[in-house]
Structure 1
């Protein structure tokens, strides 16, 4: 009897070991598929665009000929967009997270707000573009301007920043709040001097990752009227503008094959900026994650 139970146990163990090995190689295969296609994408972009990537490309405006085309308008347009999007989205996002975590009562209404904020983070970007077109371009009369594009992109990343900020604030130990309150600090003093400094690394990490998403979005900017070709840098909030994804899109749709190489050079610049932003977010997380 004992030998039969031992044989049955040994058989089950072997089956589990075999299943474990099979799942291990299945997950490895899934990882390799993603890495292979990523490597092919990077190779394709580098092989096409590296020949057109030079100083003139970074300092010239768009031109009718591929060898004269530049990326300056797209780069500066994206920079100005992010300079507007960052304070708008971060201030609103962190304020919303503070209210939900520190002030709002834990009831059905609060849970309803939190569920909808989380759902908004997964809404397709084109929907935010249509929202910006309806309100900022038409209803508020801002037109196809830089500020209308910035407000639209702020709405796009606002739910992501709210969720990331909530997680960062929630991770601050309650003992720190209690100690501050015990020393006679008010609720706002506790939030300003204890909670926010402890949550800043998580908030910054989430905000930078959200901004890196915004800088690569194309659909909302097309809807709210970003120019495909512009020969000047925006000089006011009501100026016309373009952005790096829009400029790349305008080159890709042209029929001449040389424009595909120019677009490849633009993609390289955009990828470098995105990787730099993500690297900064990772550095912030690793540097401050063990602070408390």
Structure 2
């Protein structure tokens, strides 16, 4: 499938934004990618009932590449808690596989509304900056597995890397913010891998599938965004370790509220 130059430019800019956000805030960039991909797919002749679902699926697939790039930068700085990641990962994989099937079964309008609620929730989490109790720690493995299941399920439904739950969860358990961001980046890979497999399986017999797609994955968009995001994610990680990111979170939260309003009005 050939894309118009302006659409390629939009995908590149979205990939740059997603890469920076992944490294800087530990988020997979779905709040940037899904609106852009929805717009691009709408201009490629994709049936309207597929656009949001394909945007969510493709956004999730890009996180495999963004996460891999971002986590290397965080790991070099000792900011990944692999002990936590290992306990959360099994539940995350199962939840992501199930979440893809749930998202495909939802009507497109309902999925769009759910995405709007997700980014409004993410914005609120950024603004609140609550302080945890000093005695609180990561719960026992069985409970942490359950948390991973919820993270994977919701992340696959909205096409996100899970940081909107995993970072608040870890900071709530007194994990340092930079370690929470780094660990969230590591968790983005199993979320994206399992969710992508789920979306490919769910769309294996998709009628009227757009050219260049595999299941619900829009491959041209995936390639362009992945290249851009992998290039910029390490830069975001370097910036995150050298600055106070709370003021940036407040600014980005306002942008997220605007995107949420756009999806609801749409």
What is the TM-score when the length of structure 1 is the normalising length? 0.29
Higher RCO (CA < 8 A, seq sep 6+): 2
Larger radius of gyration: 1
What is the TM-score when the length of structure 2 is the normalising length? 0.31
